[in-house]
Structure 1
Amino acid sequence: MIQLVSAGVLTAIVAFATAFAIVLAGLGAVGASQAEAASGLFALSLATGVITVALSVRWRMPVMVAWSTPGAVLLINSGAQDGGFAVAVGAFLGAGVLTLVAGLWRPFGRAVAAIPISLASAMLAGILLDICLAPIRAVGELPTLALPIIIAWAVTFRFARRYAVPVAVAVTAIIVAWATPLPSAVSIGLPSLVVVTPVFTFDAMIGLAVPLFIVSMASQGIPGLAVLRANDYRPNVSGIFAVTGVGSIVTAFFGAVTLSLAAITAALSAGPEAHPDPNRRWVAAVVAGVTYALIGFGAAYAAAFVAESPPLLIQAVAGLALLGIFAGSLTAAMVDEADRLPAIITFATTASGVSFLGINAAFWGLVAGGILMALLRMPVGRR
């Protein structure tokens, strides 16, 4: 039991520490106030914990749910929406509805799963590129602050990879506290849920909701299923999509980005490290869910910490956390030689950050790559 509990606590701490700054930065980029960003993080933490516990107990398997970290990066790249944060919340709600439909309507779910992995991975790599360059920019602009963080991350990565980003976050907190005195957690108090009335616009639905849905599915939902299947678990796929869709819809009203299956951290509770007996590993997921919900009560302090930190420093930590995902996405995009050129077009278009007709680059990257892929796959006689 000690092994199961420790694995669950570790899973939650690693998952939260490696991505909370990314979520807060993403919400802030699309116009959320500090209170709204704290509300979104709090709602995500509670929903992650509740859904993880519910599904793991129901199916007796380690089903880890998490917020969409690549989706949060997409928000950073998208920037403020015309109409403010309420428009972004409308897009969050739209992405949640698409996730629910993918769970309830199997033809749609199959169509989403049929999106070429090379294009989806290239789109994700294009979204991640800018923030993965942040550590380099931080060294150039804030060398005395950024270098200790990067050195701590690199040294820890050499000896204990899973702790590298939490250590980087801890060093960042020390540096920020030294450079800018932070208020105490007692003075900030507990977070509260702030209701945001969504506003729906066509541009945000196409340019933000659709890419948010696709990148969440492609980078976390489907890989999360692969992690479970690699450990001989066969979950109800439609049920997972439906539940995370409902969770995303509910939490969207509190300023939260989309929920999805966890992918990377899921291995900590689903693999043999959690327990030798696969039939008992669900307990580790339950512990992780409870821990996640409890950590969420520190969302207000986390938001204050990010607000007081130099933005580039927070982006640098986020970039370090996402380097592995970026490398994996770029590799997956380039692995098939026949699809390499369409993948490059998708990557380049997405990374350009250029919007057209009010729709951001991630959507156009997928469209451009898809058109070229269809053209290249067309029989010669019909070209």
Structure 2
Amino acid sequence: MEGVRPVVAGLLSAVVGYASSFTLVLAGLQAVGASPAQAASGLLVTCLGIGVAGAVLTLRHRMPVAVAWSTPGAALLVGAGPVAGGFPSAVGAFLVCAALTVVAGLVPWLARVIAAIPRPVAGAMLAGILVPLCTAPVQALVDIPVLAVPVIVTWAVLLRYARGWAVPGALVAAVAASAVTGPDAGLADATLRPVLAWTAPAFDLGAVVGIALPLFLVTMAGQNVPGAAVLSSYGYQPPLRPALVTTGLVSAAGAPFGGHQVNLAAITAALTAGPEAHPDPRRRWIATLALAGGQVLLGLGAGAATALVLLSPPVLVIAVAGLALLPALGSALGNAVADAAMLLPAVVTFVVTASGVAVLGVGAAFWGLLAGLATMLVTRQRRSRVTGSRALPPA
């Protein structure tokens, strides 16, 4: 029985991870211009990438190195919206992000620089990205209350009695409510077969600065660094540099097919690296191998998943994603306000990012990060001057 335990833990992690946020991945890809077929391809290739990267890292290092898609990255795409040049420019940005990830793995100081971004600023940037999504359930209640009320009630009930199934249950309620009122016309554009759709990348400066750089930063700060920390907390020495190179190369291979980014897992890593997976830490790698296989199998249903999402109005789909992201928003806000000395830079980062404004074709997440870091430098310099003046002896 103990031999089956890590396999069950890995498969359960795959199902929970997929069901809780695949709607967000599809919404993010469609927000930056992907057609239903391209979005389904992106979901499929990302699942395949998770499986390949996870299996390679797990077998090579014989430890539970879980891989996932970038959930904060998908949220960033929803907020970014259409980009100049359409989806090909977004694909070009995905390639640039993948290249930066590989470079971060090959050049040690670059990963250290990203990890050195103050936690409150990084948390505030992520919170600013998530806020518009997490308010989507409220907007859905106003716009389509007949559909939104059953979804939110289902989510709340399951949150009380079966927390792990709250988001999948909300999605089922959304699909059921939408099916009763009539399927969306876009359903005809979906295909149930797993199909990879090639998109030739284009490189636009606005997309590189507005999507690639923030995608790289939020993935590093919100996925790779916490993922490595989870492994460390369970007594493993995380292979961060090989993981960055591997996930970066896999992401680059998947980008022309619509994949946005794969990376170290954070939440699912806790499910597969802990004692729940297996009492013996030396056997827990089996759980992540099962997780990798489960993601590949789930990816084969990307066409069907896209068809289900197309049944529902876009605001309802984003509302379900917003419900799934509420815990992430809470964590990000907690990080943002954890240090009283960094409160003002964090607030500036949050406000600018949450504003959603784009300047020179560059999205708000990038400007929010710059504004927060600039505020940090100004306030730090001011504090230094005040401290120095107090240290002077009286005349």
Report TM bin, short chain. over 0.9
Q: Judge which range, 138-147 or 61-70, deviates more.
A: 138-147
Aligned residues: 382
Q: Does the CA-based 8 Å contact 1:59-1:235 persist in structure 2?
A: no
> 1:49-81: CA deviations, max 9, x gaps?
111122112111111111111111111111111
SS at match of 1:115: coil
The corresponding residue for 2:146 is 144
The corresponding residue for 1:347 is 350
The corresponding residue for 2:70 is 68
The corresponding residue for 2:276 is 273
Q: Judge which range, 229-238 or 126-135, deviates more.
A: 229-238
Distance 2:13 2:265 in 1: 11
> Which has the greater radius of gyration?
2
Distance 1:360 1:151 in 2: 34
Specify which of 159, 164, 168 is matched with residue 170 of structure 2: 168
Specify which of 208, 211, 218 is matched with residue 211 of structure 2: 208
The Cα shift of 1:306 comes to: 1.7
Distance 2:317 2:91 in 1: 23
The Cα shift of 1:144 comes to: 2.1
Correspondences of 1:200-239 after superposition (within 5 Å): 200-239=203-242
> Does residue 1:105 correspond to 2:104, yes or no?
no
> Does residue 1:335 correspond to 2:315, yes or no?
no
The corresponding residue for 1:192 is 195
The Cα shift of 1:184 comes to: 11
Q: Judge which range, 141-150 or 285-294, deviates more.
A: 141-150
Q: Does the CA-based 8 Å contact 1:92-1:257 persist in structure 2?
A: yes
Q: Does the CA-based 8 Å contact 1:61-1:281 persist in structure 2?
A: yes
Q: Judge which range, 259-268 or 122-131, deviates more.
A: 259-268
What code does the residue aligned with 1:285 have? T
Correspondences of 1:301-316 after superposition (within 5 Å): 301-316=304-319
What code does the residue aligned with 2:160 have? R
> Does residue 1:96 correspond to 2:98, yes or no?
yes
Q: Percent identity?
A: 49
What TM-score do the two structures reach when normalised by structure 1? Answer: 0.96
SS at match of 2:82: coil
Distance 1:132 1:345 in 2: 20
> Does residue 1:380 correspond to 2:382, yes or no?
no
The Cα shift of 1:228 comes to: 0.9
Specify which of 11, 14, 20 is matched with residue 12 of structure 1: 14
Q: Does the CA-based 8 Å contact 2:158-2:165 persist in structure 1?
A: yes
Specify which of 35, 38, 61 is matched with residue 36 of structure 1: 38
The Cα shift of 1:308 comes to: 2.7
SS at match of 1:63: coil
What code does the residue aligned with 2:204 have? T
> Does residue 1:131 correspond to 2:97, yes or no?
no
> 1:76-127: CA deviations, max 9, x gaps?
1111111110001111111111111110001111111111111111000000
> 1:261-312: CA deviations, max 9, x gaps?
1111221111111121111111111111101101101111111222231111
The corresponding residue for 1:46 is 48
Q: Which blocks of at least 5 consecutive residues in structure 2 are unaligned?
A: 390-395
Distance 2:293 2:287 in 1: 10
> 1:199-218: CA deviations, max 9, x gaps?
11211111111000000111
Q: Does the CA-based 8 Å contact 1:78-1:360 persist in structure 2?
A: yes
Specify which of 292, 299, 303 is matched with residue 302 of structure 2: 299
Q: Judge which range, 155-164 or 1-10, deviates more.
A: 155-164
Q: Does the CA-based 8 Å contact 2:84-2:204 persist in structure 1?
A: no
The corresponding residue for 1:79 is 81
Q: Does the CA-based 8 Å contact 2:121-2:346 persist in structure 1?
A: yes
Question: In 2 relative to 1, CA 204–170 (structure 1 residues): closer, same or farther, beyond 3 Å?
Answer: same
SS at match of 2:267: coil
> 1:151-181: CA deviations, max 9, x gaps?
2211222233222212222222322333335
What code does the residue aligned with 2:218 have? V
The corresponding residue for 2:393 is none
Q: Does the CA-based 8 Å contact 1:244-1:259 persist in structure 2?
A: yes
SS at match of 2:68: strand
Q: Judge which range, 345-354 or 132-141, deviates more.
A: 132-141
What code does the residue aligned with 2:168 have? P
What code does the residue aligned with 2:64 have? P
The corresponding residue for 2:360 is 357
What code does the residue aligned with 2:164 have? R
SS at match of 1:265: helix
